[in-house]
Amino acid sequence: PEVDADPARVRELLAHALRNAAEALEPTGGRVAVATRALVLSDDDIAAADAGAVCRGGEFVALEIADDGPGMSAETLARACDPFFTTK
């Protein structure tokens, strides 16, 4: 489906997420996977995700990035989306 997004912000998000995933694999190497999929979310799904102030239910495109690195601690994961958080 068509996506309503700022192309520059999507490129920036991808660049940061892919760099972080790749760095998580060093020095042993590994795999990074990127996938998109269409999904339909209800208003209840949106509310459960605490995104109700941002959007309503409807058709969405999910962007998924995964790596087979060692993973993050619960503390790191809780701060992963903080604007200035870093583990370096």
Work out the pLDDT band at 6, boundaries 50, 70, 90: very high
The pLDDT of residue 51 is: 62
The pLDDT of residue 52 is: 58
Greatest Cα pair distance in the chain = 43
- 68/30 Cα distance (integer angstroms): 6
Evaluate if residue 88 carries a pLDDT over 80. Answer: no
Residue pair 1/59 in contact (Cβ under 8 Å)? The answer is yes
- 60/64 Cα distance (integer angstroms): 13
More confident residue, 80 or 8: 8
pTM, rounded to two decimals: 0.66
The pLDDT of residue 78 is: 85
